[in-house]
A and B are shown apart, each in its own frame.
Chain A
Amino acid sequence: MNFELTEERQMLQDGLRRYLRESYTPTLRAELAESDHGYAQNVWSGLAEMGVIGALFDEEIGGFAGSGFDIAVVFEELGRVGAVDPLIDTAILGGGLIAALGNEAQKQIIEAVIDGSIQLAFAHGEPSSRYDLSRIEATATRHGDEFILNGRKAVVINAPAADHIVVSARTSGDAADRDGISLFLVSASNPGMTLRSYPLVSGCQAAELLLEDVRLGSDALLGGEGGAFEAITHTQARATLAISAEALGLMESIRELTNDYLKTRKQFGKPIGKFQALQHRMADVLIEIEQARSAVINLAGHIDAPAEIREKHVSATKNLIGNVAKLVTEESIQMHGGIGMTDEYELGHLAKRLIMVDHRFGDAIYHLERFIALAVA
C-alpha cells in the first residue's frame, strides 16, 4: 500500500501548481469575464507547453501518461485556482473519444490537441436527457455515402471555442436505447450547425447547438455505427474523475480561505474562529473534504477496471462529491458572512464553480440511484 505520488506525478503537480498560481492573478479573472471564450489563450498554450494536456493521454496516442492518477493530479491543481480552461471538454471528452474510437486519420487531431493548437467539445446531452447517457433523440440518417444529422444539443460546454465537435446522434433504436448511438467528428464550420452561445455560472462558455440537415461524409463517423455507448460511458467516467478531482481542489482552496478568515475576522472582541460553534463546523468541513479526497482516489484507482466495478466507483464518488460540495460551499459562505456573498471576493468564483459541479455528469441524487442499481440491488 502506498498513497504517495510517483516522482513524475509529484513533479507534474509542483510545476502545475506554480504555473497556475502565477497565471491566475486577480486581473486575469477580470479579463476572462470580458473575453470571447471565457479562458485565456496564453494560459492554455502554457499548459500545453508544460505537457499538461499530454499527461491526459497515453503513450500509444502520443501522450505520456493518461492514467487515473494523472487525471486526478492535473484537475485537483486546476481546481485549486478555480481555473476555467476547458481541459475536460477538449482533452478528456473530445480528445478521449477520438483516442478511443478514431481511425488513423481522425487520430491525427490528437497531436494538435496535445500541442494546444485546437479546441474540442462533446455535444451529447439534449434538452430532455438530463443526466441520462442513452436518452438521445438527435438522428443521423444514412443517404448513400452521407449521414444527415438533425436535433438539438443542450449546454455544450466549450462549443463556442471548439474547432471540432464530437456529436452524438441516433442511427437506430428508440430514445433511451443503449444501442444505436453513433458519434461523428464534425468541423465547427460545417453548414447546418447553429450555435447560441452564452456564459456559464462557473465562468466558461457553452452553447445550445441546433443541427439542421448537417451533411457529413461517412469518414466523419467516429467508431462503429450504432455502437458508441460503451466508449461514451467510459469517457464520461474519466470526465467524472476529472471534475471530482477539480472539486477537491476547489474545496481545499475554499477551506484555506475560510480558515484564514476565521483567524482574522474579529467580532465581539476576538477572532470568530475562537467561537466553538464555528470551530466544530469547520472541523466537520475538514473531515468531509478528507472523505472527498479518498473518494477521488477510489475512482482514480478503478478508472480502468472492468465496467461494472468502475461504474460503481463513478457513482459512489460523484454522489459523495456532490454532497460534500454543497456542504463546503454553503458553510464557507455562511462562515464568511456578507463578504462571502460578494462577487468581488475570491470565494465567490470558487464557490460558484464548486456548486455547479453537481450539474455535470450526474448529480448526487442521480448517482445515488445509479449506485443502488449497480451495487445494492
Chain B
Amino acid sequence: MDLNYTDEQKAFRDEVRSYLAEKLPARLVEKVRLGKTLTKQDHEEWHAILNERGWLAGNWPKTFGGAGWDAVQRHIFEDEMTRAAAPRIVPFGLGMLGPVLQKFGSKAQQDHYLPRILSGDDWWCQGYSEPGAGSDLASVRTTAERDGDDYIVNGQKTWTTLGQHANMIFCLVRTSKEGKPQEGISFLLIDMNSPGVKVRPIVLIDGEPEVNEVFFDDVRVPVENRVGEENKGWTYAKYLLTHERTNIAGVGFANAGLENLKRIARLERANGRPLIENPHFAARIARVEIDLMAMSTTNLRVVSKAAAGQAPGAESSMLKIKGTVIRQEINALTRSAVGPYAMPFASEALEDGSNLGPVGPDYAETATAQYLNNRKLSIFGGSNEIQRAIISKAILEL
C-alpha cells in the first residue's frame, strides 16, 4: 500500500501544472472562480489551447489523436485543472461520443467525426432523456422509421445540456417495438441543422437557460449516421454511460468548492469574529472536509483499479452518490456563509459584459445560483435513487 504518486506520476503532475500556469487565460480563471456562465467562445478558446498541446482528449488512444493517458494520469490532469480553476472540458463529444465511435463506429464515422470533435468543428449534445423517459431511460419513445436510405425521426428529447451551442446531437431512438424496451433502440447521429429540428431553451431555477428541449418533426437522417447495428443502441448507450461516470465523484470540484468556502468563511464575520472561528459553522465545514478526504481515497482506489484494467462497475454508483452529496453540502454551506447577501438575484451578473458591480461581496454573487443549479447533480446522469438501486442489485444482490 502506497498513497503517493510514483516519480513518473509526480513529473507528469508538475508538467501539467506548469502548462496550466502558462497557458490558462486569467480571464477564464476569473470567471470560473466567481461562478460566472462561460460562453461558447470561452469553451472553444480553452479547448483549442488544450488541443494544441494534445491534451484535449486525455481518455482517447493516441491513434485517434488523444493523449492515451491511463486512469491515474487522467485523474492527475483533472485534479490540476480544477485546482487551477480551468473551465471544465465540455464532455459530450470528447468524453461521451468519442469512446462510443472508437469502439462501435464505422471507419468512415471515426475518420469524419473524431477529428472534428478535437478541432471544435462540431459541438455535440446528448439526446437521451425524454419527457417520459428520465430515470427509466429504456422507455424512449422518439421513433426512427426506415424510408429507403434514410430514417425519419419524430419525437422529443429534453434536458439537453448546452444544446443551444450544438450543431450535432447523438440520440437514442426507437427502431422497433418488439421484445423488451431495451431491444428496440438504435443510436443515431443527427445534424441539428436538418429541417424539422427545433430547439427550445429551458430556464432553470438559477435563471440560466442551461438545458433545452429538442423537437424532431419528420427529420431525415441518413442510415449511414447510425452507430453500430440497428436495435443494439442500448449496448452503446450503456457503454457511453460508463464513460460519463469516470470522474463522476467530482473530487476536484469538491476540493475547489471547499477552498472557496473556507476563503469566504475567513472573510465573513459573525459577531465580530471570522465566521470560520464560529464553532458550529466550523464543525459543519469539518464534517464535509473529513468526508471528502475519505472519498478522495475511495476515488483513487477505483481509479487505480481502472488503471490496472478493471472496468469500474457499481463503484461508480457509490462515487456518484457520495460525490454529489458532498458537493451539494459545500454549495449549501457557501450559501449559508454569505448570509443576507445570498438573497439578491444576480442573473445579469452571471453573464459577460455586465458593468454593474456586485451588490455585496463578489464571492456572494453566485452562491445561491450555484446552490440551486447543483441540485441537478443528484438528478442527472442517473439519479441518486437509480444509483442506490444499482448498488443494491449489483453488489448487495438484493
Contacts and interface: CB of A to CB of B under 8 A. Distances in A.
Interface residues of A, number: 50
A67 to B, nearest CB: 28
A338 B344 contact: no
A112 interface: no
Given A338-B134, A338-B380, A341-B376, A127 B205 contact: no
A164 B286 CA distance: 45
A255 interface: no
Q: Which of B211, B271, B284 has the most CB of A within 10 A?
A: B271
Contact of B375 (A175, A275, A341): A341
A89 interface: no
B342 A267 contact: no
B112 to A, nearest CB: 32
Interface in B242-292: 268-272, 278, 280-281, 284
A150 B101 CA distance: 66
Which of B340, B368, B384 has the most chain A CB within a 10 Å cutoff? B340
A352 to B, nearest CB: 6
Given A132-B271, A334-B378, A365-B278, A326 B205 contact: no
Contacts of B134: 267, 337-338
Contact of A154 (B284, B360, B371, B384): B360
Contact of A356 (B270, B343, B360, B385): B343
B203 to A, nearest CB: 4
Contact of B203 (A132, A199, A338, A344): A344
B190 to A, nearest CB: 21
Contacts of B270: 130-132, 366
Contacts of B378: 334
Interface string B330-345: 0010001001111111
A171 B336 CA distance: 31
Contact of B272 (A135, A201, A366): A135
B316 interface: no
A202 interface: yes
Interface in B354-391: 359-360, 368, 371-372, 375-376, 378-380, 383-385, 388-389
Given A196-B359, A201-B368, A267-B136, A342 B343 contact: no
Nearest to B368: A201
A176 interface: yes
B82 interface: no
Interface in B287-311: none
Contact of A338 (B207, B328, B379, B385): B379
A278 B359 contact: no
Nearest to B271: A132
B341 A155 contact: yes
A363 interface: yes
Contacts of B142: none
Contact of B339 (A131, A175, A202, A348): A131
B345 A200 contact: yes
Nearest to B133: A267
Interface string A312-355: 00000000000000100010011001101111100010011001
A198 B344 contact: yes
A200 B360 CA distance: 13
A359 interface: yes
A338 B341 contact: no
A201 B202 contact: no
A243 to B, nearest CB: 12
B205 A342 contact: yes
Given A154-B340, A338-B159, A365 B281 contact: yes
A356 B342 contact: yes
A343 B202 CA distance: 8
Contacts of A3: none
Contacts of A189: none
Given A337-B135, A366-B270, 6 more contacts: A155-B344, A201-B345, A334-B375, A338-B129, A338-B379, A359-B339
The 6 closest A-B pairs by CB, nearest first: A267-B136, A343-B203, A348-B205, A130-B339, A155-B340, A201-B345
9 contacts: A130-B268, A266-B132, A334-B375, A334-B384, A342-B202, A343-B207, A355-B372, A356-B342, A368-B280
Interface of A: 125, 127-128, 130-132, 135, 154-155, 157, 175-176, 196, 198-202, 206, 208, 266-268, 275, 277-278, 326, 330, 333-334, 337-338, 340-344, 348, 351-352, 355-356, 358-360, 363, 365-366, 368-369
Interface of B: 129, 132, 134-136, 139, 158-159, 202-205, 207, 211, 268-272, 278, 280-281, 284, 328, 332, 336, 339-345, 359-360, 368, 371-372, 375-376, 378-380, 383-385, 388-389
